[in-house]
């Protein structure tokens, strides 16, 4: 049995979190196996001290800045660690080359993972795991787990994990909110426009919740989300705190653990929140909730299920631009109905 596994996950935050469900499955079946994750610097907080990750290699590279030198350095590091197995969850060329050139004897990767297109990258694997299910109708975490199940010939279910740490930053930010019975988090901006619910819809939702509940609101996000968040806050009439750029990923997780509700678009923070069990409502635009919905029993997902979704078009190529049907047909009234239902749970 394999004792020292390198997991290649040079992908975005949400996917890194979802891959940990496959690592959970490995750990359940082979608890003595050491798992090392190869990740980009921006997601390191999601895997350092993660309960299903034993070690982390951070690959800090930029294609136009001495990429060859960085490749040589990381190949040497990987070779030194004597991995007996490499699992790629991303089907990217760079990590597949790293595993090959570092001399890892078994190199596993999927026939497909993000789309149905064929890739010559699979020629670099010793074992290609055939993924036969419909990607858009299957939870992405299940796709990652399928790779593991088929290769190791095991069964069972895994769940995503995220580090749990004390956070003075989270405590300080939450204590800065005005006194209220409920603390409600908002994530208002997706990674691209067709995932971003409209400012006016967010504003209406906050205003209506405020009329019915004693709640303090705050927006979370990356530093470059701050200006957009301020625009949303202005639409609400103010009295919403802006925490964008003030938290690490682990700070953000602790904020979610100490909050009562998250109203969010489909983004990486959604998957962090899901691991905490927070009550949450996620609005989906161009992406498929069948594939990307939060793995959380306290989650409600809302989508209009347009015939053109899921899609990958540029926003200006959307047939209903500048008011995409997939976003504008998920109305504030639906969100408010979900808020009422979810806040009544376990009361």
Q: What is the pLDDT of residues 305-347, one digit of tens each?
A: 999 999 989 989 999 989 999 999 999 999 999 999 999 865 5
pLDDT reported for residue 70? 80
The last residue of a domain, from among 152, 187, 202: 152
Q: Please say whether the beta carbons of 170 and 247 come within 8 A.
A: yes
* pLDDT confidence band for 128 (50 / 70 / 90): very high
pLDDT at 199 over 80: yes
The last residue of a domain, from among 127, 152, 177: 152
pLDDT reported for residue 69? 77
pLDDT at 145 over 60: yes
Domain coverage including residue 28: 4-152
pLDDT reported for residue 160? 98
Both 15 and 70 in one domain: the answer is yes
pLDDT reported for residue 64? 57
**Residue 71 or residue 221, greater confidence:** 221
Q: What total of structural domains would you count in the chain? A: 2
Both 145 and 185 in one domain: the answer is no
The last residue of a domain, from among 152, 176, 202: 152
Mean of pLDDT values over 217-239? 96
pLDDT reported for residue 171? 97
C-alpha distances in Å from residue 335, one per residue of 188, 205, 264, 332: 14, 7, 10, 5
pLDDT reported for residue 71? 83
Domain-located, residue 111: yes
Both 43 and 16 in one domain: the answer is yes
Domain-located, residue 212: yes
pLDDT reported for residue 344? 82
Both 62 and 182 in one domain: the answer is no
Domain-located, residue 161: no
pLDDT reported for residue 3? 96
Both 175 and 223 in one domain: the answer is yes
pLDDT at 276 over 90: yes
Mean of pLDDT values over 84-113? 95
Both 256 and 185 in one domain: the answer is yes
Domain-located, residue 238: yes
Q: What is the pLDDT of residues 59-72, one digit of tens each?
A: 987 655 556 778 88
pLDDT reported for residue 298? 95
pLDDT at 8 over 70: yes
Both 178 and 134 in one domain: the answer is no
Domain-located, residue 163: no
Sheet with 85-88: list strands edge to edge. 55-58, 34-39, 4-8, 85-88, 106-110, 127-129
pLDDT reported for residue 62? 66
Domain-located, residue 158: no
Both 143 and 218 in one domain: the answer is no
pLDDT at 48 over 90: yes
Both 93 and 219 in one domain: the answer is no
Domain-located, residue 39: yes
Percent of the chain's residues with pLDDT above 70: 97
Both 330 and 198 in one domain: the answer is yes
Both 138 and 173 in one domain: the answer is no
pLDDT reported for residue 66? 57
* pLDDT confidence band for 264 (50 / 70 / 90): very high
Both 74 and 49 in one domain: the answer is yes
Q: How far apart are CA 128 and CA 39, in angstroms?
A: 21
Domain-located, residue 21: yes
| CATH code, domain with 144 | 3.40.50.2000
């Amino acid at each position: 049995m394999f004792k020292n596994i390198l997991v290649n996950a040079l992908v975005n935050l949400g996917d890194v979190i979802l891959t940990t469900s496959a690592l959970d499955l490995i750990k359940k079946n082979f608890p003595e196996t050491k798992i090392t994750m190869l990740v980009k610097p921006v997601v390191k907080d999601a895997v350092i001290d993660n309960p299903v990750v034993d070690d982390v290699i951070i690959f800090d590279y930029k294609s136009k800045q001495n990429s060859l030198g960085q490749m040589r350095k990381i190949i040497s590091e990987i070779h030194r660690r004597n991995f007996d197995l490499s699992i790629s969850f991303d089907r990217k060329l760079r990590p597949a080359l790293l595993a090959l050139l570092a001399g890892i004897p078994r190199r596993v990767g999927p026939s497909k993972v993000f789309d149905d297109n064929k890739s010559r990258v699979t020629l670099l694997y010793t074992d290609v795991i055939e993924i036969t299910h419909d990607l858009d109708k299957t939870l992405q975490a299940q796709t990652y787990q399928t790779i593991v199940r088929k290769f190791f010939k095991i069964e069972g279910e895994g769940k995503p994990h995220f580090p749990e740490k004390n956070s003075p930053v989270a405590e300080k930010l939450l204590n800065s909110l005005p006194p209220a019975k409920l603390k409600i988090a908002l994530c208002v901006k997706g990674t691209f426009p067709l995932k971003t619910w409209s400012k006016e819809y967010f504003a209406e939702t906050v205003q209506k919740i405020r009329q019915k509940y004693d709640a303090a609101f705050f927006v979370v996000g990356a530093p470059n989300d701050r200006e957009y968040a301020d625009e949303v806050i202005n639409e609400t009439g103010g009295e919403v705190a802006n925490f964008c750029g003030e938290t690490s990923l682990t700070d953000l997780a602790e904020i979610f653990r100490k909050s009562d509700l998250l109203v969010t678009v489909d983004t990486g923070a959604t998957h962090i929140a899901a691991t905490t069990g927070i009550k949450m409502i996620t609005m989906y635009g161009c992406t498929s909730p069948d594939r990307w919905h939060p793995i959380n029993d306290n989650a409600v997902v809302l989508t209009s299920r347009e015939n053109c979704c899921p899609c990958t078009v540029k926003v200006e190529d959307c047939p209903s631009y500048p008011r995409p049907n997939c976003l504008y047909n998920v109305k504030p009234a639906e969100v408010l109905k979900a808020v009422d239902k979810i806040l009544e749970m376990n009361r």
